[in-house]
Structure 1
Amino acid sequence: MDAFKVDAKGRLSIPQEIREQFSIESGDLFFVKADSEHATIHFAKAQNPFDGPAQHAIAEYHTGRTRSLEEYAADRGINLDDE
């Protein structure tokens, strides 16, 4: 278990080893939950729910397994010029 101090502005410095282990970068958002009964504070790194699908889409694009909207519509008989 690591120990670290709170600075004069109330900030904690997370040790580099922990930042690397959890891929914590400057500007990351965290949820904080205080448990006064057990004198603990829990931190959870916020995750963007769109990151996973976006990474998958980018990987598909790089492998060439994507189609344009026009190609997709044509395969399904959809006319994109309809209003």
Structure 2
Amino acid sequence: MNDKLVVKVDSRGRITIPKEAREAADIESGDALFMNLSPGRVELTRAIEDPIVELAAYAESEYKKGNTQNLRDFAKEEGIKLDE
């Protein structure tokens, strides 16, 4: 994919996100996006509609990969006492 794509603003202020960009960013119909604004610049980023759901999905995927550790085991290894 190109680093930059050109889009035109129509008479009602709308733009169309090109298919190439939608596919690269995995944007689907109905997705929410943030518009980050600064002078002369507009950046679109995916809006997380429910951060708890996103965090739970991430935690579950890390657990399934074996990238997690029991808190008590971690504390013991680090010399941290949890029950005081």
TM-score, normalising length: structure 2: 0.54
Once residues 10 and 29 of structure 1 are traced to their aligned partners in structure 2, the CA distance between those partners, rounded to angstroms, is 18
Q: Which runs of 4+ in 1 moved over 4 A?
A: none
Q: Which runs of 5+ in 2 are unaligned?
A: 65-84
Three-state SS of the structure 2 residue aligned to 1:44 is strand
Determine whether 1:5 maps to 2:13: no
Letter in 2 for 1:4: V
| 1:48-59 pair list within 5 angstroms | 48-49=50-51, 50-51=53-54, 53=56, 56=60
Larger of the two Rg values belongs to structure? 1
Determine whether 1:40 maps to 2:32: no
Q: Which runs of 5+ in 1 are unaligned?
A: 61-83
Letter in 1 for 2:46: K
Counting aligned pairs with the same residue, the percent is 35
Count of residues paired in the alignment: 56
Q: Give the helix-richer structure, 1 or 2.
A: 2
TM-score, normalising length: structure 1: 0.55
Cα deviation, 1:12-56, whole Å, max 9, x if unaligned, reads: 1111011011111111111112111xx111211112320453584
